Amino acid sequence: MANTDITLADILKVGEEDAQYLVSLIRSVPNFPKEGILFRDFMPVFADARALQILMRALEAALPVPADDIDAVAGLEARGFLFGPALAAHLGKGFVAVRKAGKLPPETVSESYSLEYGEATIEVESDAIKPGERVLIVDDLIATGGSAKAARQLVTACGGTVAGFSFVMELEGLDGIAELGDYPTSSLLRMPA
């Protein structure tokens, strides 16, 4: 079940000032990585101590399932690596790296997918997820849902169960969350694609 009507200010219960501060640091870069794509750059958020604290509080408050229903947090390369381990540590859970193909030592499990500007393959180490482990998949944004669906398939292929999905941002009009089915899902912000 998607939880996309929650705003950052609602989650934080501190009003619009912190929410607006966080949003003000997200840059929109037209025509990157190729013509016609509007890239949402989160790197300024990670470089700013106040914004990073706001983000981490919001992610924890917006978990799509109770923390007790999560055994591990899986973060997608690259920006899911920036807040995924911090979220996992704060929740007292392990972290699983979902990497681009060729970045992990063997043995790995891989899954290919289409994205809005090409094809890609992601991998996890074959023993990173224990059978029956409940895994929360996190990433900075969801667009078409390709990488999130591929991560879901990796978790399942390793014997785990997807507990839910957590995103900082959902790009409107691309229906990525709808592509994930009935899994519990949260996104803090919605922005035009």
Pairing assessment for the beta strands 27-30 and 185-192 based on DSSP bridges: unpaired
Q: Which of 60, 77, 116, 179 is catalytic?
A: 116
Kindly name the residue from 79, 99, 134, 152 that is annotated as catalytic.
79
Catalytic: 79? yes
SS3 labels along 48-117: CHHHHHHHHHHHHHCCCCCHHHCCEEEEECCCHHHHHHHHHHHHCCEEEEEEECCCCCCCEEEEEEEECC
116 is catalytic: yes
Estimate to the nearest angstrom the gap between the alpha carbon of 39 and the chain centroid.
16
Residues marked as catalytic? 79, 116
